[in-house]
A and B are shown apart, each in its own frame.
Chain A
């Protein structure tokens, strides 16, 4: 199994540009989530999904959209990037009945200028 994969690894955007961060998992996990990691602030939950077609907001959802059309994929969309969205983004997944044991991807480092 590849586990949780994320693309791209690095991305630089200009303010106002849009982009999609990709996340995929091959473990048949129902639960998937997106976190952002900022210095001194730990990891903060952006959005999560408990299954295909179901998404919900986390702690810091503003400026981000998600959708879950398949079990495997959970893309994160930035519609109009802002410098405050400069961060490292991690995707995670788990079985629905074991959401406390989450597997993280390698991360995407995003810089917005």
Chain B
């Protein structure tokens, strides 16, 4: 089955710096890659996603890139702010009726003011 590895497990940056979180997946059939942000005491919330037919997608300060050949994808956050501090999860899925999401282990991002 699908396996998703996420690195690093913790990341600390200064406010205004960029942050990059990387994930690799094992199943070449996976074609949908969402990123979730989980704030303390809350459930994960979808922040951006990318399909396998797209190499990059951007939404304001966040962007996601996908390398299908290498089977890895990354989340990029630019001009980080303290409110970006949270746990971030990547996931991989095959778009189908089952909707199974396989999550990475999570990255705790701390943005220091």
Tell me whether B113 is interfacial, beta carbon within 8 Å. Answer: no
A100→B99 contact, CB < 8 A: yes
Knowing A40-B105, A100-B49, the reply to whether A45 touches B100 (Cβ < 8 A) is yes
A42 vs B92: C-alpha distance when bound (angstroms): 12
A106→B93 contact, CB < 8 A: no
Shortest beta-carbon contacts, A-B, top 9: A99-B99, A104-B43, A42-B103, A43-B103, A42-B105, A100-B32, A104-B44, A31-B99, A106-B43
CB-defined A-B contacts under 8 Å, sample of 8: A4-B43, A42-B6, A43-B103, A58-B100, A59-B1, A94-B99, A100-B34, A106-B41
Between B34, B43, B44, B95, the greatest number of chain A beta carbons within 10 A of the residue's beta carbon is seen for: B43
Tell me whether B54 is interfacial, beta carbon within 8 Å. Answer: no
Quote the shortest CB–CB distance from A30 to chain B (angstroms).
9
Which residues of B26-69 are within 8 A (CB) of A? 32, 34, 36, 41-46, 49
Interface residues of A (CB under 8 A from B): 4, 31, 33, 35, 40-45, 48, 50, 56, 58-59, 90, 92, 94, 96, 99-107
Give the contact-size bracket for chain B.
20 to 34
- Chain B's interface: helix, strand, loop or mixed, by majority? loop
B100→A42 contact, CB < 8 A: no
Collect the chain A residues with CB atoms within 8 Å of residue B4's CB. Answer: 42
Collect the chain B residues with CB atoms within 8 Å of residue A58's CB. Answer: 100
Which residues of B8-31 are within 8 A (CB) of A? 9
Which residues of B70-103 are within 8 A (CB) of A? 89, 93, 95-103
Known: A99-B98, A100-B32, A104-B45. 14 other contacts (CB 8 A): A4-B43, A42-B106, A43-B44, A43-B103, A45-B102, A50-B99, A90-B43, A92-B43, A94-B99, A99-B96, A103-B46, A105-B43, A106-B41, A107-B41
